[in-house]
Chains A and B, each alone.
Chain A
Amino acid sequence: MKKIIFIFFIPCLFIFQSCIEIIDDLTIHKDGSGVLKYTINLSASKVRVNSILALDSLDGAKVPSISEIKKKIALFKQTLALQKGITNVQITENYTDFIFKFECTFINVNLLQEGLQMSYSVISNDKSNVNSNFTWLYLDSKQLKRSVPELTTERLKKISQKDNELLKTGSYISITRFDHLIERFDNPLSKISKDKKALMLKTNIYSLKEKQSLLENTIYLISD
């Protein structure tokens, strides 16, 4: 029955504005270890996502089925869990509202970056990613530098012009938390939390595509 309804009403789809919310939430402890949480919220676009999933292909590219997406996510989880210095890998998948949450703990930011890079290379079946510059975090005892991984900027550049309007409705929120108090930060778009231990940067995905430096920041911490 649902399949028939899909066929009749699939044309309804295009009209919905696509809207994606990405939250990247990084916690850094005093010893350099931490927790990375990453949330992709497509609930405002669930109609469009559902409709796309009902297709075989879109713009010439194959549309994966939910079972294929689940397999990829499971592969990512398994691969990341095997990486040195990374533990407690958790992924929750909500295919009703299309909300995906990823969380892991790490010993230090270098191992986190290496682990993510390797896992991404495995799921994308692209060995060349292993050699690309995947460093977006530099941490020492007094400061944290954040940028956007080269891989992400390259991907963003490839998004076609026709999708720009859709990107403008999507938001990217980057949160960085510390055990330490924050002394100051370079990016004026950042907002500091009331307890002075977290920074938030919010932008839309279109702006990020146009100017990747929007998320760049150096955060200076108050030493104990």
Chain B
Amino acid sequence: MHLKYFTLFIFSLVFSLLFSQKSESLVPKDAVTVFSINNFKLLQKISLDDLISYEFMEEIHQELFDGSTSGKSLKEAGIDFDQKLNVFSGRLNDCEISGFSFGIKNKEQLFTVFDDFYPVSYPKINGIEVYGSFVNSLIIKNEVALLIRVEPLIEQVNKVADSIWYARGNEIPFNNEDLEEETILSEEIFDEERENLFPVASFDPNEKNYNELKDSVQLVLQNKKLANILDELFNQNINLIASNRLFEKQLTHPVEAVFFLDNARNLKEPNELWYLQTFFPDINKDIDGLYDGNFILGDLSIIDNKVEFNIEVLYNENLGSIYQELSNSSFDSKVLKYIPESSTAYFTSNMNLREAYEKAFEVIMPLLEKKNDSEMAINLLTAELLNEFVDKDALFGTCKGSLFGFFNGIKKIKIKKIEYVYDENFNYIPQSTDADEDMPIFTFGFSIDRTDIPEKVFKHLERSNLKIVNMGNYWRYDNAILDAAPLYMISKNGLFLFTNDEDLAINHSQGYGDKSISHSNIKKAMNSNLIYASVDVGTSLTLFPVDLLGAKENQLIESLRGKTGIIELKTTKAKKKNANMQLVYSDFSDDQTGKHLLDLINAIYVASK
């Protein structure tokens, strides 16, 4: 009898382990980027308000930023910390998806956080509970949940809405003859003139105007895509694990978190390679195959108060052959003596551009030659002629591929400003005065064999009207930086440098000598084949100017602003089918390891979006 119960118990246990659905099985196959956090327990202490302030949680901000999370931690949200938290996103041809899946411990507690959701019926999908909110859907099956947002691309919505609108015999929906570009961009005017800009509602309340039609189309497309995803996940058991063995394998790694990026699909997103896609769609389509099999896989582990992110980049042999040539270069150690020890952020990059170019030409041209059309023939002819006629020795002798750069804090620079000086009767005259301004100091440099080429360029520029002056050891370009500060150009020791650091130009044109970066850092840079970078997060990113960088770079830097620690990036030599990188985040000023893990995850999420 006992044996019978014991056998039944074992059978039930094995059955439940084998067949119970885990949170990771709810990641849709369309996900392009996935973060799967294994050691979810680390995050228990983190408040929900802190968690949702990360960009990777941005899609559900609206759900959670309604006061329901105030003062609560993840522990009180009914979440099962023994299961993984999987954050995913992806952009498809017709829509964007994003969300996360997780385990549930206490459904009642969960709905104290997700308190805006209402039940929705999906009769064709059995065994699941679906809840909807304004934009997101929450799907619960047994002990796991999926929070997902599906957003049809606006182009797709417009396309469908327009076709219905015109098929009904309607005319152009917008009366925007007098609308100027700045009017559209001015939110204030836009709000005030909204009624004139958009079609008015019909007299017949049953007939939709254009915007109502568009809303309906968006909703239908959204529901259709969501129904597809749910059907795949819960009826057909099609998910990312089943569709991609690399992701399945990645999930088995005994680390704190894993990262998965299907870069081939990422590159096919409408936003990427837009120029090529728009102007040379055929070329883009043909070289598309170059990125097949291009995946970026990462393991995040916490070792001795350090977060290590080990990345493996997988690619096909064609792309691999180009990367191999690119990384087939010996390190130019001369660059290191030009990086001062005081620098809080620097990078070195060592590439063989000549060999990579030759290989890319060899690999890509045959791919393009398969196309038989006149436009492609002209493009190929142009490429062939340039390849023949351009002096590659001169080109790659000028820029070989060894690059470096560093940020050396903030220094004072002198600028001229106009001040008005008033007399006793308040008459005023302008007066030019000196003013000190804080200027972030940057230096960029590269290895060069053909030092005669920039010399020729600057010699002729000096004779023209440009404010370029030969100062003997360096060239100075007055007011080059935003009409206020000089730029210095130095050609020494087989290196060419651009800098706004006067001290470097005047006193260190031969390098910083014993004030350059330490021996251990030199060793690290030399051992890191393709790229080495080191950033003191606390000092550099606080000072680093971001306001006027591109939106994405800005977001990336903002995601780490206010944090502490050192981030180091190391790479290995590219192999035939893969290359490895390591990002280490260390030397925290506190012991909030879970938070640092999230900081890094967030930065990687922002960078990979």
Residues in A lying within 8 Å of B, measured CB to CB: 1-2, 5-6, 8-17, 21, 23, 39, 41, 43-44, 46-47, 50-52, 54-55, 58, 60-62, 64, 96-97, 99, 125-126, 128, 158, 175, 177, 193-195, 197-198, 200
Q: Choose among A8, A44, A55, A200 the residue that contacts B442 (Cβ–Cβ < 8 A).
A: A8
In B400-435, which residues have CB < 8 Å from any A CB? 410, 415-420, 422, 424-426, 428, 430, 435
Rounded to whole angstroms, the CA-CA distance of A126 and B189 in the bound complex is 7
**Interface size counted on chain B using CB atoms at 8 A:** 48
Interface centre among A14, A64, A158, A175 (most CB of B within 10 A): A14
Rounded to whole angstroms, the CA-CA distance of A126 and B500 in the bound complex is 44
Whole-angstrom distance between the Cβ of A78 and the nearest chain B Cβ: 18
Cβ contacts A to B, 24 pairs, < 8 Å: A1-B466, A2-B480, A9-B442, A9-B500, A11-B546, A12-B482, A13-B548, A41-B418, A46-B415, A46-B482, A47-B481, A50-B483, A58-B548, A61-B185, A96-B483, A97-B416, A97-B417, A125-B183, A125-B189, A126-B192, A128-B192, A177-B426, A198-B425, A200-B426
Q: What mask results when residues 284 to 296 of chain B are scored 1 for a CB within 8 Å of chain A, else 0?
A: 0000000000000
Q: Choose among B417, B419, B420, B547 the residue that contacts A14 (Cβ–Cβ < 8 A).
A: B547
| A193 in contact with B426 (CB, 8 Å) | yes
Rounded to whole angstroms, the CA-CA distance of A58 and B389 in the bound complex is 42
Instruction: Given A12-B482, A44-B435, A50-B482, decide whether A5 and B487 contact each other with a Cβ distance below 8 A.
Output: yes
| A41 in contact with B420 (CB, 8 Å) | yes
| A16 in contact with B438 (CB, 8 Å) | yes
| A193 in contact with B440 (CB, 8 Å) | no
Q: Choose among B182, B428, B498 the residue that contacts A8 (Cβ–Cβ < 8 A).
A: B498
In B496-546, which residues have CB < 8 Å from any A CB? 498, 500, 543-546
| B547 in contact with A21 (CB, 8 Å) | no
Chain A binding site: helix, strand, loop or mixed by DSSP? mixed
B484 CB contacts on chain A under 8 angstroms? 46-47, 50
Rounded to whole angstroms, the CA-CA distance of A177 and B418 in the bound complex is 24
Q: What mask results when residues 173 to 193 of chain B are scored 1 for a CB within 8 Å of chain A, else 0?
A: 000000011110110110010
| B440 in contact with A12 (CB, 8 Å) | yes
| A13 in contact with B482 (CB, 8 Å) | yes
B426 CB contacts on chain A under 8 angstroms? 175, 177, 193, 198, 200
Q: B365: CB under 8 A from chain A?
A: no
User: What 9 pairs between A and B have smallest CB-CB spacing?
Assistant: A14-B547, A194-B424, A14-B545, A11-B545, A43-B418, A50-B482, A44-B417, A47-B484, A193-B425
With contacts A46-B484, A194-B424 known, what are 18 further pairs, Cβ within 8 A?
Answer: A1-B461, A8-B444, A9-B481, A11-B544, A12-B500, A14-B545, A15-B410, A15-B439, A16-B437, A23-B420, A46-B415, A46-B482, A47-B437, A61-B186, A99-B430, A193-B426, A194-B425, A198-B425
| B425 in contact with A197 (CB, 8 Å) | yes
B238 CB contacts on chain A under 8 angstroms? none
A61 CB contacts on chain B under 8 angstroms? 185-186
| B546 in contact with A5 (CB, 8 Å) | no
B180 CB contacts on chain A under 8 angstroms? 125
Q: B81: CB under 8 A from chain A?
A: no
In B96-150, which residues have CB < 8 Å from any A CB? none
Q: B17: CB under 8 A from chain A?
A: no
Q: B60: CB under 8 A from chain A?
A: no
A21 CB contacts on chain B under 8 angstroms? 419-420
Rounded to whole angstroms, the CA-CA distance of A193 and B428 in the bound complex is 13
B213 CB contacts on chain A under 8 angstroms? none
| B548 in contact with A51 (CB, 8 Å) | yes
Whole-angstrom distance between the Cβ of A119 and the nearest chain B Cβ: 17
Whole-angstrom distance between the Cβ of A61 and the nearest chain B Cβ: 6
Whole-angstrom distance between the Cβ of B557 and the nearest chain A Cβ: 10
Q: B95: CB under 8 A from chain A?
A: no
Whole-angstrom distance between the Cβ of A67 and the nearest chain B Cβ: 14
Interface centre among B417, B487, B546 (most CB of A within 10 A): B417
